[in-house]
Amino acid sequence: MLRGIEEFNRGEFFECHETLEALWVEETDPVRYLYQGVLQVGVGCYHLKRGNHKGAIGLLRRGLLLLEPFGPVCRGIDVARFVRDADHCFQRLQELGPERSSEFDKNLFPTIYFLNAS
């Protein structure tokens, strides 16, 4: 999982998809949907980078729905913050609409943070 998160945070969304998909497919525990949610938010960001507004909106929405049950923290990941930031990205993209999606500030892509175990 750590490798996929590092790829996500570097903006390597295609690579993150490949890494997390392998984990998601093999996992039998419900945490698999955390992996799938992160994966889908990443693919949504990938679509946005490539100018596919419709694909970005759909995948961000689905990823957010999958992530919600895992907050506020799961496996050390600050899921609540990630969901909030991904939702902000989603809302901004909806505001811009397909005609202005190229104006999206890529600095709004969410980041995945870990919380200290202490």
Which region holds residue 51: left if phi is over 0, alpha if psi is between -120 and 50, else beta? left
pLDDT over 50 (residue 11): yes
pLDDT over 90 (residue 117): no
- Joined together, the tokens standing for residue 78 give 């600050």
Please state, in angstroms and as integers, the Cα–Cα distance from residue 50 to each residue in 33, 85, 96, following that order.
25, 20, 16
pTM attached to this predicted model: 0.94
- Joined together, the tokens standing for residue 107 give 């600095």
Which domains, and CATH codes, for the chain?
Answer: 2-108 (1.10.3450.10)
